[in-house]
Chains A and B, each alone.
Chain A
Amino acid sequence: MMLLEAKGISKSFGGLSAVSEVDLVIGKEELVSIIGPNGAGKSTLFNLITGHIRPDRGTVLYKGEDITGRKPYDISRMGVGRSFQKLNIFPRLTTFQNVQASLFSAKKINRNIFADSCRMLGDEVEDILESVGLGGQSETLGGLLAHGDQKRLEIGIALALNPELLLLDEPTQGMSPGETVETTELIRGLVRARHISLAFVEHDMSVVFGISDRINVLHQGMLIFSGKPEEVKANEEVQRIYLGKSEK
């Protein structure tokens, strides 16, 4: 059984079709990428899956259960974590607290109103920070971290949910080549170490072809191809509308 199955999902914004009739599947422990030109509907697709917006048509199944149109907090609680294209952290909380807040929610202790939260779950928080390469930055305010570190913190926040499915929207956006390599390794490592499934949107083709088990190509809101990296490279249509421009 597939972990996630989106069937024929569509969404238009005021007559402009952002995503149309997309079928997307993500298997257990699969690492898939979603590529496509700007405006192809990649982020919208993530937003449809995670409950940020409701599809006009189609269904989203997670572990066989219909989650179409459910609230983001419900879907997150079921084990779907995500990061965002634009930086989306808690800027005036420390790096430690950013992850801790997420962990409180995951462990359902965020209703506890009297315990002293200061170092609660400290070891687990530090482990997560360590695993995304932010060890030693616990006490820095999230908003004061360097751009690349904030992107990694986002992944840390999502990881604290202990997700089975992780959706990362442009995880290496704005990163230096060195950081990009580190983050790529990080993503690959996460899937292996935690046995999770991961889907990511990415513009950097070296990352996409480097680590994807399967690549999904979106164009003008439609999924035009889905296959292994070498199949994508060999596909003429994909070459014509997308890769031709960015590949030398």
Chain B
Amino acid sequence: MANGMNRISWLGTSPRNAFMLAGLVALLVLLPLFLGQSWLSITTEMLILALAASSLNIMLGYTGMVSFGPAGIYAVGAYTTGVFMEKLGIGIVPAVLAAPVMAGIIGFLVGWICVRRSAVYFALLTLAFSQIIWTVVFQWYSVTGGDDGLVSVPVPDFFFEITNCYYFMLAVVSVCLFIIWKIVNSPFGMTLQAIRENPNRVEFIGVNVKHYQLASFVISSVFLGIAGSMHCVFSGSAFPDYAYWVKSADMLVICLLGGIYNFFGPLVGTVVYTVLTKVISEYTMHWHLVLGGIIVLIILAMRKGVVGTLANYWANRKSAAA
């Protein structure tokens, strides 16, 4: 960020970072050669979860809005695709494309009300709305399948082969993350960060804070909708749990674990969280307790999250060496 001269403008980063990024992408492309079916499936889930967490972080880390309800919007995306395909017999392409549109519309309506309040009141409103969405999903049997969920979404056979599914998700998630990257590094993204830092001051540089908070809410919702839709395609199902507050808490914890002030925080947070969950649950049935303890320790020891803390450490070393 410091050296603006050496910067690939369309990519929004330096050549050195672009090189590292290319390496990461190459690694992800080659991953199916090394991973077994089970871990490849877990990695695919991670991709989707990473997109969801990054979407939430547009609000959380970049605009400073703590939402307790991303799962509600995520479920809107999943159920839009699921209902379109299973109940209405619509093809996968329109069913997937409809998800971000529907999530964006619901996000606009919910956000329009929520941004009227700030801080903890905002958080509670988002929680309330996500619980309303959960209740609707849970009880509207004729459309959502109620507590049974949608279990036979007619996803094309292509996706049953986990390698295909993985590559598809990798492509969708990469494109979405790239768009999010562009957005948070744009003048609009800078305005969001200024709002995060000091919403009152921003009013006095001519910015209508509520409009920008709503825009952030809607953009975040659109990408959450895509993530939800991808989950539906991946699993061929949708369940009320997707909208439950526990899912929102997972996303928040992932962002905090990785670090909310860094674009890569939610991505690293997803990997740490998922791997910890899988590994610990192999050893003990009380894995929730152990995981909780570890998360508490990480958050206490690394207040800025894994990525934020490491970035600080490297910056300090660099300046110490200079």
Interface residues in chain A, defined as those with a beta carbon under 8 Å from any beta carbon in chain B: 50, 52, 71-73, 76-77, 81-82, 84, 88-93, 97-98, 100-102, 104-106, 109-120, 122, 139, 157-158, 160-161
Contacts and interface: CB of A to CB of B under 8 A. Distances in A.
Given A88-B201, A101-B191, A116 B185 contact: yes
Contacts of B12: 116, 118
Given A116-B7, A116-B12, A110 B191 contact: yes
A161 B205 contact: yes
A102 B190 CA distance: 10
Given A110-B187, A110-B188, 16 more contacts: A50-B204, A73-B207, A82-B204, A90-B194, A93-B197, A97-B190, A101-B194, A110-B190, A113-B183, A116-B7, A116-B182, A116-B185, A117-B185, A118-B4, A119-B5, A160-B205
Contacts of B72: none
B189 A113 contact: yes
Contacts of B188: 110-113
Contact of A110 (B5, B185, B207): B207
Interface in B1-19: 1-2, 4-5, 7, 9-10, 12
Contacts of B190: 93, 97, 100-101, 104, 110, 117
Nearest to A88: B201
B193 A101 contact: yes
B185 to A, nearest CB: 6
B205 A76 contact: yes
B198 A76 contact: no
Given A88-B200, A90-B194, A115 B186 contact: yes
Contact of B191 (A76, A104, A116, A158): A104
**A-B residue pairs, 8 tightest by C-beta:** A119-B4, A90-B197, A76-B206, A101-B194, A72-B203, A77-B206, A110-B191, A102-B205
User: Does more than half of chain A's interface fall in helix, strand or loop, or is it mixed?
Assistant: loop
B220 to A, nearest CB: 13
Contacts of A104: 187, 190-191
A116 B183 CA distance: 9
Contacts of B206: 73, 76-77, 105-106, 161
B186 A106 contact: no
Nearest to B14: A118
Contacts of A120: 187
Contacts of B187: 104, 109-112, 115, 117, 120
B37 interface: no
A90 B204 contact: no
B189 A117 contact: yes
B164 interface: no
A106 B191 CA distance: 12
Contacts of A113: 182-183, 186, 188-189
Contacts of A81: 204
> For A52, A88, A101, A117, which residue has the most chain B Cβ atoms within 10 angstroms?
A101
